[in-house]
Amino acid sequence: MGADKAVLINTEDDLEEGDQYTTARILEAYFEDKDVDLILAGNVAIDEASGQVGPRLADRLDMPYVTTITELNIDGDTVNIVRDVEGDEEKVETSLPLLVTCQQGLNEPRYPSLPGIMKAKKKPLEELEIDDLDLDEDDVEAKTETVDVFLPPEKEAGKVLEGETDEQVKELVSLLRTEAKVL
């Protein structure tokens, strides 16, 4: 909503597999000759929830970045940001150019209007492939390999110790020695 144009970088014909490095390298090639003030990146989406694409791209573009932002205010070249830090907030003041990774809650999405949808159909869509970015398959070859994906073992139900406090302490110490083997 409100975009002037869209760009689709299609890698289906050129790459079998990719990783966070691949995505960041392709985006770097796209942005190399662009004069950019602000890049809004996802926090943990397409990179298998590792949160690496935004910071990797910023590093490759030699651009400062702030991750997990929940609020963004720009006044000229000054940017005031609130970012999520383990359930708390951190306020950051920086300047443009900048890359930020956006956390859920950054904005309240609105539904597009019918006239807006019709206008969007007329906006230009640029479709690129890796060759258009002067990249070879070797330039974007994945640097990581997923060996296995698995769920952690289910936890056993806890035990409720009954009786007087002295008895509970003795039973707890006994269980820590015999079952948990931590004492």
Q: pLDDT tens digit string along 4-50?
A: 889 999 988 878 888 889 999 999 999 999 999 999 998 876 667 78
- Helices and strands (DSSP H and E) totals, the chain: 4, 7
pLDDT at 7: 94
With a cut of 90, say whether residue 101 has pLDDT above it: yes
Rounded to two decimals, the pTM is: 0.76
pLDDT at 4: 86
With beta carbons less than 8 A apart as the criterion, state whether 156 and 163 touch: no
Ordered alpha helix ranges (H), the chain:
20-31, 53-60, 114-121, 165-178
Distance between CA 116 and CA 67 in Å, rounded? 31
What's the mean pLDDT in 168-182? 89
Q: Cβ atoms within 10 A of the Cβ of 77, count? A: 11
More confident residue, 75 or 1: 75
C-alpha distance from residue 41 to each of 69, 99, 103, 134 (Å): 10, 7, 9, 23
**Domain positions in the chain:** 6-140, 156-183
Fold (CATH) for 6-140:
Rossmann fold (3.40.50)
With a cut of 90, say whether residue 91 has pLDDT above it: yes
Q: What angle do CA 6, 64, 57 make, to 5 degrees?
A: 50
**Phi and psi, residue 135, nearest 5°:** -115, 145
Place of tokens 């007087």: 164
